[in-house]
Structure 1
């Protein structure tokens, strides 16, 4: 059943996936950007069963109906002629709270692992599909294990991943060329990145160039150390400790404060460098962000850029980003769970995943032949996308909760105070811990 007037946190979901943050880095991005794929060139084999079903699919990221049809809808209509498919995008007038209030049936939710806690769990839509997987002969051993582990961390196998996601390092070739510095490489450590950042952090002709930037929110959600944001047992913030402090210090603070001019620039600006600085202003040499930025930001069509794998820590060699997959989740309220499972089975088939991979969507299967064609039908096929995504192994997913956003928001605002020279690191973490726990308690009272 639908949750009894329990509404999710929906403010984080914006129309085009990850690029909420193009203009406002404090927003939370919940799905990786997706290419505007044409319809598959190969028609799927038609399912000749007589089962009929009226399936409603809700797109939490707000992707348009055309975008949904180009990726899945058109193929599903051919594959399952007895199914009637209705797609509803998250937008004004059709947000999840509005649909729940109106009693709108929803069979499948398309959402990221980051959004699932708020949309799926908080509304009690979660449904463990393990029995359906067996019934419909879905071989889970085909999948990249960490993608499945990501949903199991929520409490069960509530859906199947349809594309992967994770952090990569974008870089502006022109800035490196301008200062005669070698480009970043796959397999760098964070120490390597810090040293490289120093070489391209310069003030030239009155323009400040910065070596590296990222958000606070993305590395927290996908941290390579697999650190929890909330202690699931106590529902208390789990950030005020040495491991989190060291991570934030290395990834967020040090690249800025190691250079006096960069630090002064940020303090005067009162804002961290982000997507616009990298893609439009072009004063940022390296930018760590969720894979798919190139599909969402038009400037990448003319920007002289490439990407490499996320740097790693010396005490965790070869371990990169946590996975950030998007899923098709079957809802507990669906009256057509078997039909919905057939949809999940098809969109994760070798046949369809091959198409997805060619179009630059990170494949969810271990099949090396599918990985081999990754991105070959995109305008960016000559970029280092494959290595950037697959060079490192994925980190173990941390245990996500419906309270993670509260903690991330608290640490985001307080760490900026460190960079702006308004607080020291220990004070920032102590305040963030206190603010986060207060916000969690307030959230519990509203249930």
Structure 2
């Protein structure tokens, strides 16, 4: 996976808008021609999204598709990110044809959908339209289940370090660089922590996801979150707990109890830094454009372990799939094909969203977009030297993630020592995997 994604996210889609509904015609990206579109019995699609109001990642695609196909009605079923998979499971288990289009929040969830017969195979559509999967440069194949395509790459994300330039200036501390170890990052966070009470600025922010600890432990490519021995997590949990104890990051229990979203912490200037995915670039650009925020911000490459090359990052693909119960499969396919097209990658790039196509053109569009940080370091931070999946496509990944999340909670609130947490992970994951 690591080798594939080192190059994979540098070309991935020339799919284009090949068909539609009604009597419209649309350009075929592969042949650069126009072909007729079959009549659709219905002209309505239901799509699932998460946190739709706070990010342009879905509406940009939906709006662009509706402009091309004005006769199509699109109903959005939106859910909070932390509830999305649970709600989706309920929707897919219920009788009926909704939803039609499913954005898959976590890559491994597609395995569960296929196992339960909830995802439609795209192979016949791909063959009919002669869709060349090589344009995805390996990403489509990485999403295959038993050699079949049930989804296509929609978005590509990896972790970067966001920082508030104004808070660094106020503290008189130099900005983060594009080459910092996690030890140097912690030292920097301690320098830029200042203030008291409600006016306190934390040096950095760890959201409540277990990935905000475990990701850094697999950044060297030697381990994954599906393991026999989780001892490799030890130093990363110790660092997070130390920073929490010293007030460099906010208290985990308070964040969890109050269900505080990471975006509000950064937008409200409560933290000088924040490791987060590239999807947050679009959120910040949208926030700046609307006047919700007006401080100076930037991004740097994510810090790295000692001995690992600068620019090595952790990330994942966001697939888009079609429900096996859809009653408008042809129309749903046209949406999926457009959503993962080169044309749409440019639309998304204008909104700060990195797609399955990581072309230089898309990067240039983002770097020159209004409200993207103008400094060279932020532009350079849009690239990486190595890209590692945050979790493998393992048939047990969702069950294992449940264990990881439960143990993460217990360690971060102090109910378990790090040693106890690692022991429980070894035992419970071992039972799941039969080790």
TM-score (norm: length of structure 1) = 0.69
Query: Are 1:71 and 2:57 an aligned pair?
Result: no
Tell me the residue number matched to 2:109. 116
Q: Deviations along 1:90-110, whole A, 9 cap, x unmatched? A: 459x95425652412443212
Tell me the residue number matched to 1:362. 354
Query: Hey, what's the Cα distance between the residues in 2 that align with 1:349 and 1:153?
Result: 22
Alpha carbons of structure 1 residues 126 and 244: separation in structure 2 relative to 1, 3 Å? farther
Q: Deviations along 1:300-319, whole A, 9 cap, x unmatched? A: 62233221111122343245
| SS of aligned partner of 1:394 | strand
Tell me the residue number matched to 1:445. none
Alpha carbons of structure 1 residues 435 and 204: separation in structure 2 relative to 1, 3 Å? same
Tell me the residue number matched to 1:395. 388
Query: Are 1:162 and 2:157 an aligned pair?
Result: no
Greater Cα shift, 134-143 or 122-131:
122-131
Tell me the residue number matched to 2:272. 285
Query: Are 1:103 and 2:96 an aligned pair?
Result: yes
Query: Are 1:244 and 2:240 an aligned pair?
Result: no
Query: Are 1:182 and 2:198 an aligned pair?
Result: no
Alpha carbons of structure 1 residues 317 and 52: separation in structure 2 relative to 1, 3 Å? same
Query: Hey, what's the Cα distance between the residues in 2 that align with 1:261 and 1:85?
Result: 49
Query: Are 1:199 and 2:187 an aligned pair?
Result: no
Alpha carbons of structure 1 residues 162 and 72: separation in structure 2 relative to 1, 3 Å? same
Given candidates 241, 245, 262, the residue that maps to 1:253 is 241
Query: Hey, what's the Cα distance between the residues in 2 that align with 1:206 and 1:57?
Result: 42
Tell me the residue number matched to 2:405. 409
Tell me the residue number matched to 2:77. 89
Alpha carbons of structure 1 residues 261 and 321: separation in structure 2 relative to 1, 3 Å? closer
Q: Is this contact kept in 2: 1:144–1:364, CA < 8 A? A: no
Greater Cα shift, 170-179 or 381-390:
381-390
RMSD: 4.2
Alpha carbons of structure 1 residues 116 and 242: separation in structure 2 relative to 1, 3 Å? same
Given candidates 313, 327, 333, the residue that maps to 1:321 is 313
Query: Are 1:61 and 2:57 an aligned pair?
Result: no
| SS of aligned partner of 2:386 | coil
Provide the aligned length of Structure 1 versus Structure 2.
379
Greater Cα shift, 67-76 or 133-142:
67-76
Alpha carbons of structure 1 residues 130 and 284: separation in structure 2 relative to 1, 3 Å? same
Query: Hey, what's the Cα distance between the residues in 2 that align with 1:354 and 1:71?
Result: 11
| SS of aligned partner of 1:201 | coil
Tell me the residue number matched to 2:39. 52
TM-score (norm: length of structure 2) = 0.70
